[in-house]
Amino acid sequence: MTRKQRHEELNIALPDDVLQSKAARFNLHTLKRLKAALEIDPTVDLTTKFPSDYSNRLSEMQSSSQLPATSLASQTTPSNDPLPEDDIRVFLQLSDPVGVVFPLSESLRKLLPDDTSTRMSRAMVRLMQRSEGIWESPFSRKRMVYRCDTNMAVKAIKNAEDYTEYTTLQYLETHKPTVPAPRPLGLLCMNGVSLIFMTYISAPTLSKIWSQLDFAQKASIRDQLEGILTDLRSLACPEGTPFGGVAGEGCKDARRHPRRHDKPILPANAFENFLRSDRHFGSDIYAEVLRRLSPLHQLSPPTSVRCVFTHGDLRPDNITVEITDGGRCRITSLLDWEYSGFYSEYYESVKITNCLKHFALLHDPNRIPSTYTS
């Protein structure tokens, strides 16, 4: 369905140029959700159906469409074309100091002289300017990934709330180097933009090549994933360690709306209460799906639940695969560890509800394969 079709479905007449605005598209998406909630329950309190950070997100989108694009190119190499307004690099200015959050690796120090603040800022801006964008989020002024060297990438995040991804990469490098994950190379901050440097391997994501693979190749990837995840889940959670990020960042739940719990969560039932505490939790059917996935409700009396290391956002877009000349497939990396940490052992299966509408009426929890609930 195109953008125009989506807004026509809501019986709203908007010119095409307005539909190019991210703020307008965000409002249309919100309105569609409100309409769906109203159809389910005409007496619903609609204020509970708005995204939890609606005002802040809308304000940022409105300001991004009004602010002129500040060209890094005009500050460094005037002959280059200016950056588009939705490129996160427009926030980086030569006058901005660079803060070192985590130490720079030797390979990164070669690219960024740190003898003076001015020189480092200039080198940082120029490095980002010449870097190649390789991924962007739907709201690219908040999150983008660039390749800044043959074997190095940087993830740029505006107003990051924590550094879970980086602390996880550090943890894996020390405690489980056998897991294919990027290696941390340093973390800098410049004008509210966190710059997470890591190693980079040029390989397509599984989502891009899956349809081209034969049965044997798909089976090989499945078997490799099983071994990787078994290895990852073998990481013992130190006794008394709260659920969530390894550096105490707390629990996160991003199935429908990103949420975080900053206070320590220890027993498994407290974590499950957190999963159910979302004010957007939704219908009884949605609740039943989650209940069936939890071992706390599958046995009588309830069984104990292990706390294991979890990726938290495992999907084809976050798995890169190399295909050799002989047609063999090898998983080269698992990406995007920002939702990782120690979680209940069943949490990865709960993540299958990422694409399940929380107000769904037609989804049938009885159709969940038994392998997910046993």
pLDDT (tens digit per residue) in 230-260: 999 999 888 888 888 999 888 887 766 666 6
> For a pLDDT cut of 70, what percent of the chain falls above it?
67
- Per mean pLDDT, which range of 11-15, 81-85, 118-122, 135-139 is the poorest? 11-15
For tokens 């390979």, the residue is: 107
Query: 282 — alpha (psi -120 to 50), left (phi > 0) or beta?
Result: left
pLDDT (tens digit per residue) in 74-127: 333 333 567 888 899 999 999 999 999 999 999 999 988 776 778 899 999 999
Position 207 pLDDT exceeds 70: yes
Position 157 pLDDT exceeds 60: yes
Please check whether the domain covering 206-372 is classified as CATH 3.90.1200: yes
Confidence of residue 6 (pLDDT cuts 50, 70, 90): very low
- Per mean pLDDT, which range of 48-62, 189-203, 225-239 is the poorest? 48-62
- Per mean pLDDT, which range of 34-38, 222-226, 335-339 is the poorest? 34-38
Averaged pLDDT for residues 62-82: 46
- According to the model, what pLDDT value does residue 211 have? 93
Angle at alpha carbon of residue 332, lines to 330 and 337, rounded to 5°: 135
Residue 334: closest CA among 321, 348, 343, 349: 321
- According to the model, what pLDDT value does residue 73 have? 34
- Per mean pLDDT, which range of 46-60, 141-155, 194-208 is the poorest? 46-60
Position 267 pLDDT exceeds 50: yes
Confidence of residue 38 (pLDDT cuts 50, 70, 90): confident
- According to the model, what pLDDT value does residue 169 have? 98
What DSSP assignment string belongs to 273-340? HHHH--TT---HHHHHHHHHH-GGGTSSSPPP--EEEE-S--SGGGEEEEE-TTS-EEEEEE---TT-
Averaged pLDDT for residues 26-32: 80
Position 68 pLDDT exceeds 50: no
Position 24 pLDDT exceeds 50: yes
User: Alpha carbon 276 to chain centroid distance?
Assistant: 21
Averaged pLDDT for residues 213-232: 96
Whether residue 69 contacts residue 82, with contact meaning beta carbons closer than 8 Å, is answered with yes
Task: Give the fold, CATH level 3, of 72-199.
Answer: Phosphorylase Kinase; domain 1 (3.30.200)
Averaged pLDDT for residues 179-197: 97
Q: Which two tokens stand for residue 209?
A: 């090549």
> For a pLDDT cut of 90, what percent of the chain falls above it?
42
What residue ranges do the domains of the chain occupy?
A: 3-66, 72-199, 206-372
- According to the model, what pLDDT value does residue 39 have? 78
What number of H helices and E strands is found in the chain?
13, 12
Check if 72-199 and 206-372 are the same fold: no
Averaged pLDDT for residues 171-177: 97
